[in-house]
Amino acid sequence: MASPKHIGYAFLLEDSSGENVFTPEDLSPEQLEFMRVTREFVSKDFEPVRHDLEKLDRDLLRATLQKAGEAGLFMIQIPEEYGGMGLDLLSQMVVIESIAPTGGFSVAYGVQTGIGSEPILFFGTDDQKQRYLPRLATGEMIGAYGLTEPGSGSDALAARSTAVLSSDQTHYVLNGSKIFISNGGIADLFIIFAKVDGQHFTAFLVERDTPGFQVGGEEAKLGIKSSSTTALTFQDMKVPRENLLGEIGKGHKIALNILNVGRLKLGMGVVGGMKDALGRSVRYALQRKQFGKALVEFPLIQQKLAQIAACTYASESAAYRTAGSINQIIEDRSESESASLDKTLATLEEFSGECAINKVFDSECLAVAADEAVQIHGGYGFCEEYRVEATYRDARIARIYEGTNEINRLFIAGNLLKRTQTGRLALLQAIQQAQKAVLERLPDPPADSSPLGDILTAIPNAKRIFHLLVGLVSQKFLPNMEKIADEQEIMAAFADLIIQIYVLESITLRAVKRIRQGDPRSGLHQTVVRYQAIECFEKIDQLANRLIDSVFRDDARLTHRAIVRKWSHWPHLNRVELGRALARECIAAEGYPFVVQ
C-alpha cells in the first residue's frame, strides 16, 4: 500500500506535518546554482536584445535560444546518455522560475524543454532519443508541439488530422492542420498528433523540411510577443514509419501526461513573473512622489504590495510543495532508465490533481499581481516604456493554455470524484467521519497554542467542511452520482474549495517548518501566512455557502449553513496591520522578501 505522501489528493484526507513538505528553503546549493546561471543568462544574453525580441525577430529568437542552449539550460532533464545532465525536476523548476521574467522568450524556452522534448524523452524509442534528444539538449534543434486544431482546442482528442499507412508500409501520409503552435516559426522538429485511419489518436515526429509540411504566418497576439505562434498545415505529408511516437491509438497518453507536468511548470513560471512584478512595483513606488510623499507611504499602495507578495508566497509554497512531492518519489533512481521514466510518468499522473491546482491558482494570482503592478505605476504602467505593461499582457495567456482554467477546474473535481468512486482515494471514510461529527456533536479539536496554532487548528475544519459538502451534494444526486459532472458550477466550486485548502495548508506548513528550523525570518513567514489565510478563509466561507444555496432549499439550506458556520470559526486576523507589516518588508527588501539564494 502506497504511503499517503505518495498519493495524489492525500492532503484532503490527512493532517500533514511541516516536516514532510518541500519548501523553496529546502533547495540544495546545486539547485540554486541553476538559479544563478539562469539569472546570469537573462541579464547578459536576454536583456540586451529584449526590445528587439518583442518585435518577434525569428533569427534573433533562434540565436538567443542557442545561447540558452550553450549555457546548458536545455540539458537539465535530458539523461546523460542522450547528451543532457539527467538532473531532477526541482533543478528544472528553478530554471523555469528564473527565466519567467523574459515573457515570451520563456514560452519558447518552456516549449523546448517541455512539450517539445518530453514526449520523446518519455515515449520515444532508443533510436528516436538518439536521433533527437542530443540536438534538443544543445539547442541545435528547436522543438514544438502540435495538438490544437482549428476545430479542437479544449476537446483536443476530437482532432481531425489523419494519418494513413502507405501501401508499401514504409511511411504514414498525414493530412490536416494545427493552430496556435508555439515555436512554430522557428522549430525544426514537431510533435504532431493525428488519427491513424481517422480513428486512432497517435503522435508523430515531423521534421520541418518534410515535403507537404507548411508553417503559416505569425499570429498577431495580445502578449508574449517575442514567442512565435503559427498554424501548421500538412498535405499528403510523408512521415517515416519509424517516426511514429509511442503506440498507435495511445496519443492521448502522451498528450495528457505531458500536460500534467506542463501545468506544474506553468505555475512555477508564474512565481518568477510575480516576483519580477513585485520588485518593479516596489522600486517604482519608492521613487515616485505624489502629495509630497513616496507612493510606498500610502497605505492603499502598501496593501497592493502586500497582496502581490502574499500571492507570490502562496503560489511559490504550493508549487514547490507539489514539485517536491513528485521529485521525492521519482528521485529513487536505483532502477533502470526506462523503469525510472515510467515511474516519473506514473507519479505525474498520481499528482495530476495537484498539478492542475497549481496551474489554476498561480495563473489567477499572476492576473491579480500584474493588474495591481500596473495600478501602482498609474499612467506609466499603461505605457510600453515600463515593463509591467508587458507583464500585464503576457500574463493573460496563462489562464488559457495548458488547458483553460475552466477545463482544469472540471478536471480537479472530476478526477477526485473518479478516484473516490473507484476506491483509489479514501474520501468516503472522511465524508462519513464529517457526518458523524455533525450527528454526534463531536467537540472541536483542542486549541493549539503554538505559533500559527490557530491556523493549524482551522485547517482540519476547512477539510471537514469540504468532506461534509461533498457528502451532502453527492447524496442529493443519488442514484445517478455521475450526473454531478454535468453541474459545472458545482464542480468548479468544489475545485475552488480544494484549491484553497491546498494553498492554506501549503503556506502554513512552510512557515511552521521555518519556525521549527529556527529561521530568523520566521516572524515574517507568520505574517504572510496570516495575511493570505484571510483570503483563504473568506473564499472557503463564500464557496461553501454558495454551494449550499444552489443545491438546498428551506430548512435543509439553513441547517447546512449553520453547520458550516460552526466549523468556520476562523481566527481573528487584522488585514490592515498584517498588510502594512508585510509591505514594510517588501519595501525594505525592494521586492519579494523571501528570496532564497
User: Where do contacts with ligand FAD occur on this chain (CB under 6 A)?
Assistant: 111, 145-148, 153-154, 180-182, 221, 224, 229, 397, 400-401, 404, 406-407, 488
Contact indicator for 314, 507 with CB cutoff of 8 Å: yes
Question: Cβ-count burial of 380 within 10 angstroms (0-12 exposed, 13-18 middle, 19+ buried)?
Answer: middle
Pick from 340, 361, 307, 357: nearest CA to 532? 307
User: How crowded is residue 29: how many other Cβ atoms within 10 Å of its Cβ?
Assistant: 6
Q: Backbone phi, then psi, for 404, in 5-degree steps?
A: -60, 165
Whole-angstrom Cα distance, residue 21 to residue 328? 10
Pick from 216, 166, 226: nearest CA to 196? 166
Whole-angstrom Cα distance, residue 466 to residue 11? 12
Q: Is 316 a catalytic residue?
A: no
Cβ proximity to ligand FAD: between 49 and 400 the closer is 400
Cβ proximity to ligand FAD: between 25 and 218 the closer is 218
Question: Cβ-count burial of 67 within 10 angstroms (0-12 exposed, 13-18 middle, 19+ buried)?
Answer: middle
DSSP character at residue 46? I
Cβ proximity to ligand FAD: between 122 and 313 the closer is 122
Residue with CB nearest ligand FAD? 153
Cβ proximity to ligand FAD: between 108 and 563 the closer is 108
Catalytic option among 364, 389, 402, 505: 402
Cell numbers representing residue 316 in the block: 511559490
Cell numbers representing residue 432 in the block: 462519513
- Smallest gap, in angstroms, from Cβ of residue 548 to ligand FAD? 23
Question: Cβ-count burial of 60 within 10 angstroms (0-12 exposed, 13-18 middle, 19+ buried)?
Answer: middle
Cell numbers representing residue 206 in the block: 515531423
DSSP character at residue 219? P
Cβ proximity to ligand FAD: between 156 and 462 the closer is 156
- Smallest gap, in angstroms, from Cβ of residue 315 to ligand FAD? 21
- Smallest gap, in angstroms, from Cβ of residue 93 to ligand FAD? 20
- Smallest gap, in angstroms, from Cβ of residue 55 to ligand FAD? 17
Cβ proximity to ligand FAD: between 221 and 238 the closer is 221
Contact indicator for 143, 186 with CB cutoff of 8 Å: no
- Smallest gap, in angstroms, from Cβ of residue 571 to ligand FAD? 36
Q: How long, in residues, is the chain?
A: 597
**N- to C-terminal Cα separation, the chain:** 38
Whole-angstrom Cα distance, residue 395 to residue 367? 6
- Give one DSSP letter per residue of 506-530, joined into a string: HHHHHHHHHHHTT-TTHHHHHHHHH
Cβ proximity to ligand FAD: between 296 and 398 the closer is 398
- Smallest gap, in angstroms, from Cβ of residue 81 to ligand FAD? 28
- Smallest gap, in angstroms, from Cβ of residue 395 to ligand FAD? 12
Which residues have a catalytic role annotated?
402
